[in-house]
Amino acid sequence: MALDYYVAIETSGSVCSVALFDITGKVITEECWEPNSHSKYLTVRLEELFGKYISDKDKQILAIGVSQGPGSYTGLRIGVSTAKGLAYALNKPLIAVPTLEIMVENVIQTYKQEVLDVDFLVPMIDARRMEVYTQVFDKHRNAQDDVANIILDKDSFSKYLDQGKVAFFGSGSAKFSKIIANGNALFLSGVEPLARFMYPFIKDRYEKHQFEDVAYFEPFYLKPFIPTTKPKDLLGNARKKQ
């Protein structure tokens, strides 16, 4: 009897992770490694994973799932390019999963009781200074608005806080907790977008044949990439402003 698997790759944040699921959603294996080491470990770990679990001819990959963003520019580029390479080489579908939805799934599975007591879930990815990438969901995973990058202030999300309890989480939530004083705001710690929470999205998109074009798919950066280092000439010297 053949065994079919889904591969999940998540590189949008500081923690990089990969997971292998069977078709029922059981996590066959999962690996997370030290922050900001995506390029060092990702392809090596995937090669080891394939060698250990997919070497048998009766086992095969159904699809490659990857976190599409928003998130770290560098992390997303590494994850998406790796996923595209695998999908092309294996001739398997490429499935993109929104990063903020992965974070919501993490909270729903991890903070079960807390989720029952709130009306809205708000994942936040730090975008430096007081800016975050975010989106509002109800506790049944339904999006209430579009993904956006916003600059936080004391009145942010007042529309939802006036309606009920709101759970904030993710790398951008700590700075928001310092400027807001509202009894309806709840802050959940330790929430990362991890590969182990990508299964429901990969399975759903696979069954609906919602696949990405391997040649043209790009990460969802949300805002344009702006280099922070000075441009260099051909000799590697930083150019001076004229």
Q: Identify whether residues 43 and 110 lie together within a single domain.
A: no
CATH code: domain of residue 78: 3.30.420.40
Residue 235 belongs to some domain of the structure: no
Domain containing residue 50: 3-98+193-207
Residue 49 belongs to some domain of the structure: yes
Q: Identify whether residues 166 and 80 lie together within a single domain.
A: no
Q: Identify whether residues 201 and 94 lie together within a single domain.
A: yes
pLDDT at 6 over 50: yes
Alpha carbons within 13 A on the beta-carbon side of 172: 26
Q: Identify whether residues 7 and 22 lie together within a single domain.
A: yes
Q: Identify whether residues 20 and 54 lie together within a single domain.
A: yes
For residue 59, what pLDDT is reported? 75
pLDDT at 43 over 50: yes
Residue 84 belongs to some domain of the structure: yes
The more confident residue out of 141 and 223 is 141
The more confident residue out of 175 and 56 is 175
Q: Identify whether residues 89 and 197 lie together within a single domain.
A: yes
Encode pLDDT of 127-137 as tens digits.
989 999 999 99
Residue 123 belongs to some domain of the structure: yes
Q: How many CB atoms lie within 10 A of CB 119?
A: 14
Q: Identify whether residues 18 and 93 lie together within a single domain.
A: yes
Residue 231 belongs to some domain of the structure: no
Give the whole-angstrom CA distance, residue 151 versus residue 144. 19
Q: Identify whether residues 64 and 86 lie together within a single domain.
A: yes
Give the whole-angstrom CA distance, residue 153 versus residue 143. 22
Q: Identify whether residues 69 and 108 lie together within a single domain.
A: no
Residue 88 belongs to some domain of the structure: yes
* Residue 228 banded pLDDT, cuts 50, 70, 90: very low
Q: How many domains does the chain have?
A: 2
Residue 228 belongs to some domain of the structure: no
For residue 128, what pLDDT is reported? 86
**DSSP 8-state class, residue 172:** T
* Residue 45 banded pLDDT, cuts 50, 70, 90: confident
For residue 239, what pLDDT is reported? 47
Q: Identify whether residues 46 and 108 lie together within a single domain.
A: no
Q: Identify whether residues 149 and 104 lie together within a single domain.
A: yes
For residue 137, what pLDDT is reported? 98
Residue 76 belongs to some domain of the structure: yes
Q: Identify whether residues 94 and 114 lie together within a single domain.
A: no
| High-pLDDT (> 90) share of the chain, % | 74
Is residue 24 within 8 A of residue 11, CB to CB? The reply is: no
The more confident residue out of 5 and 240 is 5
Give the whole-angstrom CA distance, residue 96 versus residue 83. 10
Lowest-pLDDT range of 145-149, 178-182, 195-199, 235-239:
235-239
Mean pLDDT of all residues belonging to the chain: 89
